[in-house]
Structure 1
Amino acid sequence: MAHAVLVLFLGLVGLKTTVLPAEIPPECEVPEPEPRCRAFAPAWVYNKSSMYCERWSNGNCYTEGKFQTEDECNNKCRDHVLGPCAVGLEEEECRKMEKRYAFDTKLRRCVLRQGCFLTNRGENNFASLTKCNQTCGEFTHDPCLETETRLSCNRTRSAFPWENTWFRYDQRRQICEPFNYTGCYESRNRFEDETECWKICSKHVKERCKMP
């Protein structure tokens, strides 16, 4: 009887696989209220509302909860909260390429990856987009409504041998459009193919006749 109850309990637990955000480490807490500091003193701060590290123009004005690099903030704060969803896919040598889904911490959504991956190890490794979203969907941000932020970029177009065509969602025109991604702009509103763009952003299209 006890064994049957245990099996039933484990079965119920298995129905929901969503990763609950972990408790924020003390060193990642930003003290309130906001400091009185008018100086331009940027630093990386963990925003518990978005669950991601952000570069605040007055970040260094805080006495605690500030980091000088994004990597340091991510390692101590973001990755702790995201848990297995922050772990990268492990690759291995194989003869047959396979499709797997994983949560991308830069794009802040589940994406398709093609390659040779260790399917028996690593929790950020899913057979379908649905399973990935079930586990890591808590940390997803809508990329379709995000605008571009220009980065410091003095390189010429010839400096980007890997430049290729991506797709982004245009809110005003309500369409997915192609553009040449060079790396000089930072935005999660970019998709490797048009199908992926429409699949994620079609919910924002009010005029159905614009759908492909």
Structure 2
Amino acid sequence: GTVHVLSNSDLYPSVCVCTNLGQAEAVSSTQKNSCQYKLDDEAGPCRAIKDRYFFNVNSGRCELFEYGGCGGNKNNFETLEECEETCLVSAVNFVKTNTNDKKPCHLPEAPGPCRGMVLRYFFDSSNQQCRRFYYGGCFGNANNFRTMAECQAKCLSPGRPGTHFGSVDLHQSPQKLSRSEPCFTPVDRGMCDGAERRFAYNPEKKRCQSFSYSGCGGNENNFISRKHCIHKCIRKGGIILRHQFQSLVYSFHSFLFNLRLCD
């Protein structure tokens, strides 16, 4: 098919992308991607002290550094927002606005061709769970969320097939949870500085309890609401199923009725 050449050397490295029409679009670059320059190359020869931001390909984050005021390289941004927009957000928005797929939750995991290590979350449609993965920093697809909560809100919303949040199936058989399930992993608040209210399952107390999530990292025992936690770790595990309680009440009444007959 026809090859369309797009020149955007400041944002993307040289990669080939398949479009919905099956044609190859080559994103060519004669220069190094600005987000891939190392900090060692960019302080510059001058002696001024200016706070700037650069994209660290090892951590996958935009970080602060002191710029000398001249020279250096293009991995140099005046604000954190500018750095993240260029090296983290732009490629994701490019994919999201150029895809005809209106169901990103069904797309496969896509780290992309760049070499960053950005912690993100995607919806695994094979087991109906949001999982974390490391995003390279460019391209990929729209099944790419900044937080576990964002992924769960988009792909595990009420009314979505297979979730049935807020409803109770009285004919559902209890399923036994294995120890490898996310519900049995210890609470992990993550490694950032935020303070978001989340819920995790406590297997010792057999309850979903709130905890303070830092905003990144952590594990899958992390739910945006108590309802999500109960659905995954209590209702699925058959710990406090409503139909079991009803069966117990029915058995008790039957016992009392038989006892009266004996009298």
TM-score (norm 1): 0.36
Q: Which has the higher contact order (CA 8 A, sep 6+)?
A: 1
Larger radius of gyration: 2
Name whichever structure is richer in helix by fraction. 1
